[in-house]
Chains A and B, each alone.
Chain A
Amino acid sequence: MNIFIPQSWLKDYIETDVSPVELAKKMSAHAFNVERTNEIKGDIVWEAEITTNRSDALSIMGIARELKSLLPKKDYKFKYKESKAQKTSGKDKLEVEIRDKNLVPRFSAIVLDEVQIKESPEWMRDRLEKVGTRPLNNVIDITNYLMFDLGQPMHAFDYDKIKSGKMILRDSRAGEKVITLDGMERELPQGMIVIEDGEGRLIDLCGIMGAKNSEIDENTKKVLLFVQVYDPMKIRRASMTLGHRTEAATRFEKGIDFEGVLPALWKAVEMSQELAGGKISSDLIDIVNIKPRSKEVEIDYEKINLLAGVEIEKSRADEILESLGFEIKGKKAKVPSWRLNDIDIPEDLAEEVIRIYGYHNLPSKLLAGEIPRLQPEKIFYWEGIAKNFLKHNGFFECYNYSASSCNAGENQLELLNPLTEKIACLRVSLIPQLTEVLDKNKGYAEKIKVFELAAVYLPRQNDIPDQPSRLGIAVKGVEYLELKGIIEAMLYNEMNIAQGAVDFEISKGENGYLTAELDFEKISQLANNDKIYIPISQFNSIKEDLTLVVPENVEYPQIKKAILAVDPRIKSLDFKDIYKNALTLSIEYLDRQKQISSDDTQKIRQNIFANLEKDLGVRLKK
């Protein structure tokens, strides 16, 4: 998530001569990308993207702590001082009942009396505005301020509104309702963390937002300051379910520094005393339910060097880790409390060392080593051939979405969360979208040819769908035989597939559209560059055209077969033209033993006519 970092605020924690521009560059290169630098009221405010693993840096103090490792010691001073614990005592009690310890690993609170609710001082309102938050009143502002300052979300209740001074922290029950601070009534599902007071009212939707019934208002006298660590998964689920992503929730769900809880509470007390005149009127409540274990991770210096591709001295590595708050213990590093969620394995430490060392300081080397044996799949090559062929035959290549409407074929797999109805089901054929392309481009030209080469998604039992590559073709204003000829030339000439080995069908659609969908997996299996050499005859062939009259119910393959069967000297037979029922063929005669004569061809021709007439009733056109 992005956070705002006003330089004036950052100066609370650091002292350096390095200019903000330089600092921002270092931030981006070593830690977090400064995406924008804005100027607000004469202050420089960075907007930086904090990666999801670094909840410790979602605060001004966290950023200052990170910057410490980026600048030479002489240039930088980190001025963070934890607020000290104060003496506590008083008559105000809070009875706390926690139904499930896992819900709230740490629970801390304290009551302040004689609080005066008023507007916050200008410097604080100013800072809140710079980080994008609206100031409300001094106490609420303090809780918000400290979330941005220290990264610890906190809440303040009007103590007198908590009936019987009792809090029961538990899982919500399905259907329970709470009106949150924003005035919205929210119906809760089961399993969100909530707090119930002594009279059974819900007074907090934990980690997301407080309840209206216990909010601080201008008459509030006693304030309960409240700092917690919640089960991150619960907070995440709750905020996702409610669709309500608050600054607090995003921090809670990414994990809170367990050791930061009390210092934050004490700082809140300090500020309340200063800005609202409050006085401590209760004991400190600090319930530790689950204490995170301290963690030591092995520092693998060899791995650091291997990953970096350059030698980083051990002393330098240690120095970097220490500057980030790690404690070096022999070959291990003790992880600081604020990084417990993030650092687990030696690679994690390697990343820390190398990024601070500087990725830009690493060399740039191409790969050495063995070349992998994996051979490229044939299909990519043949896709290229087919696409080029179609392009040179006037086709436009299209790019349609993998999903279409749900009425585009049988057995379409449905998307559970589609964006629109138009893309709600995975496609089982490329044709419906291609015909749509023809529709959309009607006015472009008389003759339009389009294709797409892509996968379709065919459901299978208990497996991912079969995803074969298909070649979809759609044309407008093109004759049947022309399209067929293009497809055949591609398959049988360009791709050298045996004549007739691929079954395809051309369908006629509305508006004279013709479409065809071919199994490209099969095509790429059959396609080849194998050549067979037939010695060139020293004798010449004789070519002639014949025009035949074809009766009904006769098919071309029958004619072709009948002719070729007549004589081995018929070298080739090609379809040339058809007009009504007059079929023109061109025939080539060749005798490999001697020069063929017109007498020879005449005899063969006679036999052809005899054969055709006898078997098929086909005659020469007069």
Chain B
Amino acid sequence: MDQSKFENLAKEFMEDLKKVSSLDDLESLRVKYLGKKGILAGLFGEFAQISPEIKKDFGRKLNQLKNNIESKLSELHSEFFAGTEIGVSQFEKTLPGKKPQIGHLHPIITQAIREIVEIFKPLGFTQVRHPEVDWDYFAFESLNMPKTHPARDEWETFFVKAPENKEYGKLVVSPHTSSGQVREMLKNQLPIRMLNISRCGRRQIDVNHIPFFFQFEGLAIDKNLSIANLRGVLDYFAQKFFGPGRKTRLRPFHFRFTEPSFEVDVSCGLCQGAGCRFCKEGWVEIGGAGMVHPNVLKAGKVDPKIYNGFAFGWGVERTYMMKAGLKIDDMRYLGENNLKFLSQF
């Protein structure tokens, strides 16, 4: 095949192109030249049979022609959608884009926890995780709750069928993140600023409780820590998590593993602590806190004469629901994995 054949073909195409008056014409033209049985396909078919000497040149020209035709067709195609610089029709512009399918992260186990971790990070609190199934010793006894202590009743503890350990007692599903306190101290790395976020379990299931849930617990052990420091950390958290202007307050309470012990309230977001119909007293309870009891420090092999500390902790689920103002009427939704529920987050 010689040079002129390609030139003629190019001319012929340009003539055809001039005759195009509709998108249908354009498509017929495309099929004529570029279709499976089109002119160019025929030429590519010849390619295999021609002599090697001219093969290279033939191939180059053929490709050139093909590119030329493609670009002309495409240009004309764009002209049919005039006034649209990016080659998109006015209608197409009004269509929604084709989205990739995106999934959802769980509101509690990921979204809430991430937020909490990020808030405590600048304060030097490092995220850890401690066993979710643990010895009675870490869940209770080392926390200043001897074997028969009535305070244990407050936790509806799940017990695990397993032989008792001579030193550490029964196997339990950890009912609170405080089980991590002594374990953290036993790492023997002082000072401590721990943020333990773990699954816990209690024998409770109703609108307000699910049997397996997440708690987060802060623990700071250092020299000369005070309740003022605890307040500082809690206020910082409240402002970052719930929003500027939100405050916390401590009320006296009793836990065996802290002395003094507190309940922590956060000021209501609606009335800022003045009292309104939603919160009644201006404050909403979020969790517990306290200064670590010397007996707990001792159990963690920390010398209470030199070190002291504070701890605070509460449920991730409830805290998140309070923040988001999400009126989730039944906590059990959180563990049901109904995709209609999860897709909202």
A and B part of one assembly: yes
Report B201 CB to chain A, min CB distance, Å. Answer: 6
CB contacts (< 8 Å) of A444 on chain B: these are 339-340
B interface list, Cβ under 8 A from A:
100-106, 108-110, 114, 117, 123-124, 126-129, 131-135, 148, 150-151, 153-154, 158-163, 165, 171, 173, 187, 189-194, 199, 201, 203-205, 210-212, 220, 222-229, 231-233, 235-236, 249-254, 259-263, 281, 291, 293-294, 308, 334-340, 342-343
A467 CA to B165 CA, complexed, in Å: 18
Q: Contacts A395-B103, A397-B105, A402-B201 given: A423-B160 contact, CB under 8 Å?
A: no
Q: Which residue of A lies closest to B138 (CB)?
A: A464
Query: Do most interface residues of chain B lie in helix, strand or loop, or is the interface mixed?
Result: mixed
Contact of B263 among A33, A372, A418 (CB under 8 A): A33
B103 touches A363 (CB 8 A): no
Q: List residues of A (412-428) whose CB comes within 8 Å of B's CBs.
A: 413-420, 423, 426
CB contacts (< 8 Å) of B117 on chain A: these are 380
A402 CA to B134 CA, complexed, in Å: 13
Can you list 22 A-B pairs, Cβ within 8 angstroms, ordered by A?
A51-B254, A347-B291, A351-B261, A359-B251, A359-B252, A362-B228, A364-B232, A365-B232, A366-B236, A369-B223, A371-B193, A372-B190, A375-B126, A388-B105, A390-B103, A391-B103, A396-B104, A402-B132, A402-B173, A403-B158, A416-B160, A447-B101
A254 CA to B150 CA, complexed, in Å: 8
Report A479 CB to chain B, min CB distance, Å. Answer: 15
Q: Which residue of B lies closest to A436 (CB)?
A: B337
A351 touches B165 (CB 8 A): no
B189 touches A372 (CB 8 A): yes
CB contacts (< 8 Å) of B263 on chain A: these are 33
CB contacts (< 8 Å) of A53 on chain B: these are 254
Contact of B337 among A253, A418, A437, A455 (CB under 8 A): A437
- A462 at interface, CB cutoff 8 A: yes
- A139 at interface, CB cutoff 8 A: no
A355 CA to B250 CA, complexed, in Å: 9
A348 CA to B290 CA, complexed, in Å: 12
Contact of A391 among B105, B153, B189, B204 (CB under 8 A): B105
Report B282 CB to chain A, min CB distance, Å. Answer: 10
CB contacts (< 8 Å) of A400 on chain B: these are 335, 337
A440 CA to B335 CA, complexed, in Å: 13
Q: Contacts A308-B227, A348-B259, A364-B228 given: A396-B252 contact, CB under 8 Å?
A: no
Q: Produce 1/0 per residue, A500-514, CB < 8 A to B.
A: 000000000000000
- A373 at interface, CB cutoff 8 A: yes
Report B217 CB to chain A, min CB distance, Å. Answer: 15
Q: Which residue of B lies closest to A34 (CB)?
A: B281
CB contacts (< 8 Å) of A447 on chain B: these are 101
Report B260 CB to chain A, min CB distance, Å. Answer: 4
- A459 at interface, CB cutoff 8 A: yes
A372 touches B191 (CB 8 A): yes
Report B300 CB to chain A, min CB distance, Å. Answer: 15
Report A46 CB to chain B, min CB distance, Å. Answer: 13
Looking at A23-31, A118-126, A178-186, A274-282, the stretch in contact with chain B turns out to be A23-31
B133 touches A413 (CB 8 A): yes
A467 touches B105 (CB 8 A): no
Report A47 CB to chain B, min CB distance, Å. Answer: 13
Q: Which residue of B lies closest to A236 (CB)?
A: B150
A368 CA to B76 CA, complexed, in Å: 71
CB contacts (< 8 Å) of A392 on chain B: these are 100, 102-103
Q: Produce 1/0 per residue, A431-457, CB < 8 A to B.
A: 000000100110011011110001101
Most A Cβ at <10 Å: residue of B124, B259, B338: B259
CB contacts (< 8 Å) of A360 on chain B: these are 249-250
Q: What 11 additional pairs, Cβ within 8 angstroms, besides A366-B229, A416-B161, A450-B339?
A: A237-B148, A307-B291, A309-B229, A347-B294, A364-B228, A367-B233, A372-B126, A374-B189, A391-B103, A397-B103, A444-B340
Most B Cβ at <10 Å: residue of A362, A387, A464: A464
Q: Which residue of A lies closest to B106 (CB)?
A: A397
- A491 at interface, CB cutoff 8 A: no
Q: Produce 1/0 per residue, A144-178, CB < 8 A to B.
A: 00000000000000000000000000000000000
A457 touches B133 (CB 8 A): yes
A444 CA to B315 CA, complexed, in Å: 30
CB contacts (< 8 Å) of A423 on chain B: these are 211-212
B250 touches A365 (CB 8 A): no
Contact of B163 among A32, A437, A454, A462 (CB under 8 A): A462
